[in-house]
């Protein structure tokens, strides 16, 4: 069909891009993770000290666990919000489908920072929520625990990543032929039975894709915990940022990054296998 030269010409720019800006930096990072720091300078001396630190020092393991726990909650809440929304959009929105779809997408046009700061003004000590609570005499004093907590991080990340969960589920549902729903009713299944036996299994690949998005993006997030997390809401990426910045310990930062990378890539591989197993077209 196409000549070898043509194929090569088309494939070369993206390949070069990926090699130069993705593979080479990863390789550098991988190398750094086996080096060390001595009196404020990186020493090119191969050793496993960084990985040893990660295993023995509780702070890293705990932060990674907390980050995973935050990401898991974000995933759960985004699914709980996103799945019914996608179901409604696909099956019951009727003529207003396109409008609702746009409404789901519009938040994605607003800068992440703006949305994170918006939650800051809502949850702060003198924020919208506390003012309201006091106005209605639900509390006498402002509730301080709203902002600068894991709760604030989970809330913000759920808000930000729910559209990423809605869209793949919605796409999966749009691909379910409607005559399958009719066939199920025809064979005696009530709408509830039809949902659990037909719609839910057929939308599972979309759910896995959405959940993967939400979990992976939340796990690596560092802005929301930075702005809203406070000391108790610190996530693993904040540690990486500080190691590469103020602490100037690139080798340790690289080691953590590499661990996260392995974790995320295996998650993605697992998700892809599950999606393949549960897709039928």
Partner 1 sequence: MTSLLSIRNVAKTFGKTQVLRDISLEVAQGEFLTILGESGSGKTTLLRVIAGFEQATSGELWMGGERLDALPPYKRPVNTVFQHYALFPHLTIGDNVGYGLRIAGVSKADTATRVQEALAMVKMTAHAEKKPSKISGGQQQRVALARALVNRPKLLLLDEPLSALDANLRRQMQIELKALQREVGIAFVFITHDQEEAMVMSDRIALLKGGRLEQIATPREIYSRPATSYVAQFIGHTNLLRGNVEHSVARCGSLSWPVQAADGPVALSVRPENVRLASGAAEGSVRFQGVVRQQAFHGATEMVRVECADGQVFLIRLSGEAVGAIGTILPLEFSPEDAVAVRDVEAAG
Q: Which CB sits closer to partner 1, 111 or 281? A: 281
Question: Closest distance between partner 1 and the C-beta of residue 172, in Å?
Answer: 12
Q: How many residues bind partner 1 (CB under 8 A)?
A: 20
Q: Which CB sits closer to partner 1, 96 or 197? A: 197
Question: Closest distance between partner 1 and the C-beta of residue 175, in Å?
Answer: 10
Q: Which CB sits closer to partner 1, 98 or 182? A: 182
Q: Using CB under 8 A, which residues numbered 201 to 260 contact partner 1? A: 201-202
- Per-residue contact string for residues 164-183; x = within reach of partner 1 by CB under 8 A: -------------x-xx-xx
Question: Closest distance between partner 1 and the C-beta of residue 100, in Å?
Answer: 23
Q: Using CB under 8 A, which residues numbered 94 to 153 contact partner 1? A: none
- Asked if residue 169 lies in contact with residue 251, where contact means CB atoms within 8 angstroms, the answer is no
Stretch of 41-49, 192-200, 209-217, 254-262 lying at the interface with partner 1 (CB under 8 A)? 192-200
Chain centre to alpha carbon of residue 170: 18
- Asked if residue 165 lies in contact with residue 211, where contact means CB atoms within 8 angstroms, the answer is yes
Q: Which two tokens stand for residue 19?
A: 């090699």
Q: What is the largest CA-CA distance in the chain?
A: 76
Angstrom distances, CA of residue 130 to CA of 126, 136, 144, 157, 165: 6, 10, 9, 21, 30
Q: How many CA atoms lie within 13 A of 37 on its CB side?
A: 16
Q: Using CB under 8 A, which residues numbered 62 to 101 contact partner 1? A: none
- Secondary structure (3-state) at 186: helix
Question: Closest distance between partner 1 and the C-beta of residue 192, in Å?
Answer: 10
Distance CA 232, CA 234 (A): 6
Judged by CB under 8 A, which of 133, 198, 263, 264 binds partner 1? Answer: 198
* Look-up of token digits 């086996």: 34
- Asked if residue 130 lies in contact with residue 142, where contact means CB atoms within 8 angstroms, the answer is yes
Q: Which CB sits closer to partner 1, 107 or 201? A: 201
Q: Which CB sits closer to partner 1, 134 or 279? A: 279
Stretch of 27-35, 88-96, 141-149, 190-198 lying at the interface with partner 1 (CB under 8 A)? 190-198
Question: Closest distance between partner 1 and the C-beta of residue 173, in Å?
Answer: 14
Reference 119, options 154, 72, 80; nearest CA is 154
Judged by CB under 8 A, which of 1, 186, 231, 246 binds partner 1? Answer: 186
Distance CA 57, CA 63 (A): 11
Reference 263, options 79, 18, 65, 24; nearest CA is 65
Question: Closest distance between partner 1 and the C-beta of residue 168, in Å?
Answer: 17
Distance CA 2, CA 7 (A): 7
Distance CA 18, CA 252 (A): 25
Q: Which CB sits closer to partner 1, 14 or 177? A: 177
Name the site residues for partner 1 (rule: CB under 8 A): 177, 179-180, 182-190, 193, 197-198, 201-202, 278, 280-281
């Amino acid at each position: 069909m196409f000549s070898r030269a043509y194929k090569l010409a088309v494939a070369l720019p993206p390949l070069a891009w990926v090699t130069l800006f993705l593979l080479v930096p990863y390789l550098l990072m991988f190398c750094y993770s086996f080096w060390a720091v001595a009196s404020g300078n990186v020493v090119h001396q191969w050793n496993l000290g960084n990985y040893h630190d990660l295993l023995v020092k509780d702070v890293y393991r705990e932060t990674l666990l907390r980050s995973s726990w935050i990401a898991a909650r974000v995933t759960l809440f985004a699914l709980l919000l996103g799945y019914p929304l996608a179901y409604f959009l696909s099956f019951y929105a009727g003529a207003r489908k396109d409008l609702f779809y746009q409404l789901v997408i519009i938040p994605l046009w607003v800068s992440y920072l703006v949305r994170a700061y918006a939650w800051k003004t809502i949850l702060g000590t003198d924020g919208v929520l506390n003012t309201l609570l006091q106005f209605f005499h639900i509390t006498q004093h402002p509730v301080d625990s709203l902002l600068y907590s894991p709760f604030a991080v989970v809330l913000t990340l759920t808000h930000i990543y729910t559209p990423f969960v809605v869209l793949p589920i919605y796409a999966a549902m749009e691909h379910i032929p409607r005559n399958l729903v009719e066939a199920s009713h025809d064979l005696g299944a009530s709408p509830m039975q039809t949902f659990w036996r037909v719609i839910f299994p057929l939308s599972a690949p979309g759910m896995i894709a959405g959940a993967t998005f939400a979990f992976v993006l939340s796990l690596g997030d560092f802005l929301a915990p930075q702005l809203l997390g406070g000391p108790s809401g610190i996530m693993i990426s904040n540690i990486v940022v500080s190691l590469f910045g103020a602490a100037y310990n690139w080798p340790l930062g690289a080691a953590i990054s590499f661990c996260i990378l392995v974790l995320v890539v295996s998650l993605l591989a697992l998700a892809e296998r599950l999606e393949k197993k549960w897709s039928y077209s």
